[in-house]
Structure 1
Amino acid sequence: MLENAYVMVLIILVINIVYVSFFTIRMILTMKGQRYTAAFISTIEVVIYVIGLGLVLDNLNEIQNLIAYAVGYGIGVIVGMKIEEMLALGYITVNVITKEYDRDLPKRLRDEGYGVTTWPSQGREGDRLSMQILTPRRYEMKLYQTIQELDPKAFIIAFEPKTIHGGFWVKAVKKGKLES
């Protein structure tokens, strides 16, 4: 089976796609502090890596194998990122500054289940309402859509918090209040 050059290229390509996808997921889990899951995935990742690299090194005179390895690596990065997007691990904090000083906007977001903290602020053109909203990443796009529906001119910036501690909202998330 490994004598056929096309089969060898396909095997190397698939192995590297799987390896790099595992690598990407492991790195994300490591950054999110999920060390035991990351360690388990890295064990599988290394086995896949050694098999793929071994196939390439055993056949270095076949340039198509090296090309398949490189292309598989690139595709693996994309696949790993897509998997991470689907998993949507962790939380995001979204800062919203609205031109419309509408006190109903925070209430409507809270009614949707989001944790919203507000404060008055000043912009170049006058009074603004600033909001900080915490949500699981899996609801990120839904939150943006909701904000855009309520205030299409809102300024939105998001980031991932490293640590979350305290607050009433954490209990609500555990109960699945945002599920819809």
Structure 2
Amino acid sequence: MNYYFLESQYPRRGFISGGTTFTPQLDMNYVAIENPLPEGTTAEVELLSSVRNLNVDYFETITGTRHVSDRFKELLEGANTNAQFIKTTVCYHDGRSVEKTYWTAHQLNRLDVFDYERSEYGRKAVIAASVQQPPRKIVKVVSRICLHEERIGEHEFFMLDYINIFKPIVSKDFYEVCCKHKLNLNVTEV
């Protein structure tokens, strides 16, 4: 099975991003949060001024949040994902609301499926040794990624654990389902 990175940069549109604020306000940086957000939490995204027309089904923000459209959320809820979806209000830089409904996809599954032998990355000998002899070192510079597909199982939407790559991964099968539902997603092959 093939896998794809979900991208927040779209051909002929550029990078889709903005800033995210949460209500109630978070006690720490969003990226450092490893637990579910409290029930009733909502989010608001103000898009960068370069974003004039948001008609995509996935984007990320400079604050590390990942956002999915209502239609994408429905498909994700039917797939093997444990993401928490936070109701999100998205508006353009000038205050106008966007046309679609969006959700913050929080706490995606993080899978330890990076193939340390077949992948190419910086400090390979040191990092590969840390897998067997903790503490585990984080892979920071990657030039080629190979996955242990047998460890992925039925997961359709996930992040890599112990790797400094912050893009979610979707399976080829799930991506094809998204295409059949005419979702506007941009992907690159893993």
What TM-score range do you get, normalising by the shorter chain? under 0.3
Q: TM-score, normalised to structure 2's length?
A: 0.24
Q: Which has the higher helix share?
A: 1
Q: Which has the higher strand share?
A: 2
Larger Rg: 1
Q: Which has the higher contact order (CA 8 A, sep 6+)?
A: 2
